[in-house]
Structure formats: C-alpha cells, structure tokens
Amino acid sequence: YGLDAIHIAGMAYYERIIVLVGVNIMLAVSLNIISGHAGQFSLGHAGFMALGAYFASFLTVFYFLPYVSKFPEGTQQWVLQNALLLVAVLGGGVATGIAGYLVGLPSLRLRGDYLAIVTLGFGEIIRVLILNTDKVGAARGLSGIPKWANFFWVYFFVGLTTLISWRLVRSSVGRAFLA
C-alpha cells in the first residue's frame, strides 16, 4: 500500500484525517442522491450512518475480535481480519438498509418539511439509543475497536459508493428521481 507510508512515517494524525475525508466523501455522495437528485430534504443521514457504524463496530468488538486474537500474528491473521472487516461492513449496511426500509414505509408519501421531520426524528432516536445503551459504551462510546480499516478499504468503498451512485442516477430509477 503506497498510502501506508504515512502510517510508517509516524504521521498517524494525517492518516486519520485522510480516512475521515474518505468516510465523509461517502456520506456526501449518498446525501447527494436524496437531496441533489431526488430533491428531498432528509435530515436522517447521520442517524443511518451511526447505526451502520455502531452495528459494524459491535460485530467486530464482541464477535470477531475474540476469534481473530486466537490466530498468531502474520498473514493468516491479516487475511482473516480483512475478511471479517468486509463481513462487518456488509452487516452494517444490511442493518442500515433494514432501518431505512422501516423508516421509509410510513414516510413513503411524505415530501419536504414532513420528510425532514420524520428523518430528523429517526436520527434523534438513534442518538438517544446509542447514548443510553451500555453495551455500546453509552455516552463514552464503544471502545476497543481494532484498526483493521486502512486507506485501501476506505477508498475502495469511496469508489464503490461513487460508482453505485453514478450508475443509479443514470438508470431508469435515477431518471425518475429527476422527473
């Protein structure tokens, strides 16, 4: 990994900033679909992002980390970590998709301010649940999350998110968004 040279050089701060930029690019691309192309005003993106992130982190800390620690350091553990990272990301995506479906059903006919109120309410519910659930660290946050993601994975998902968004906007569904 060429970008891992930043990590090797001891520039962890810059590495963290570049990774956070990638995460925010994915968030902006997804927000562009609903706000830019569909023309809807949604305030729930932070709630959906938090739900997916906490679900993936919960899987990693409580289910995957104890399993990975049984393997010796080396290539085998690295491959297992990357495979479990993908499972955690997919799990977070599925959890977020289910939540999106459940929020979307009652708000299917809503537009404008009413959609914004429903999605803001969802985001607030997620925030309160996270702050009051001891299993995920409550107000302290979830600790002990291993650093398995790196530049490669973050920017791989940035590219995948951008590609899916681009394909969606140019599909028949995307043309219906613009109508």
pLDDT averaged over the chain?
Answer: 88
Assess whether pLDDT exceeds 80 at residue 51. yes
Model confidence, pTM: 0.85
The CA–CA distances, whole Å, from 87 to 42, 56, 80, 81 equal 28, 8, 11, 10
Distances (CA, A) of 170 to 4, 21, 173, 175: 35, 26, 8, 7
- 27-37 pLDDT, tens digit per residue, is 999 999 988 88
Q: Is 119 in contact with 43 (CB distance < 8 Å)? A: yes
**Residues 6 or more apart whose Cβ sits within 8 Å of residue 154:** 19, 22, 23
- DSSP conformational letter for 72: P
Structure tokens at 37: 């192309």
Does 1 have pLDDT greater than 80?
Answer: no
Confidence check: pLDDT of 102 > 90: yes
- Phi/psi-derived region of residue 78, left when phi > 0, alpha when psi is between -120 and 50, beta in every other case: alpha
Contact (Cβ atoms closer than 8 angstroms) between residue 122 and residue 103: yes
pLDDT tens, residue by residue, 106-161: 888 888 888 889 999 999 999 999 999 999 888 888 888 888 888 889 999 999 99
Q: Check pLDDT > 70 for residue 88.
A: yes
Rounded percentage of the chain residues whose pLDDT exceeds 90: 50
- Extract the tokens encoding 147: 């650093």
Select from 155, 157, 151 the least CA-distant residue to 12. Answer: 151
For residues 55-81, average pLDDT: 87
